[in-house]
Amino acid sequence: MPVESLNSLKAAFLRWRRNKRFKTERVPESLIHRARRGAVVHGVAKVARATRLGPDRIASAAPVRRRPLRVAPAFSRVEVPIPQTQGAVPLAEAEAPTGLRLRVFTMTAETVQLLSAFCRTGGEQ
């Protein structure tokens, strides 16, 4: 297939713009395809300037839509042995809707902070 000149591409796009039926009409796929073939020879920047298309429309077949990354749910099961004290009855116990269970056997500054954080988040992960 012969190489299309930048002038013929520019003329084709001007002709299309002049004859559009409405202002927001999509660029025909045939014109975009011609622009992409021309970009292989002349470069994306020159073709974009001649056709007044965005470089991203010329460089790729479809606009790239970035999806937010999804983190796979993960959990760790930590089992701490019950302290060997007389009558090991938990002082506090909390369970989240997700099934996360927290039992506190002794009150220290760390366990108070842990309980506070657990209650604040509702145990959600």
pLDDT per position as a tens digit, 91-111 = 778 887 777 787 777 778 888
- Which residues does 13 contact at the CB level (< 8 Å), separation at least 6? 31, 35, 50, 51, 52, 53
Hey, how many other C-beta atoms are within 10 angstroms of the C-beta on 87? 4
Q: What is the chain's alpha carbon radius of gyration, rounded to the nearest angstrom?
A: 32
- Gap between the Cα atoms of 25 and 31, Å rounded: 13
Is the Cβ–Cβ distance between 44 and 4 less than 8 Å? no
Structural domain boundaries in the chain = 6-59, 92-121
Q: What is the pTM of this model?
A: 0.46
Residue 26 has pLDDT above 80, yes or no: yes
What tokens were used for 32?
A: 């975009």
Average pLDDT of the chain is 79
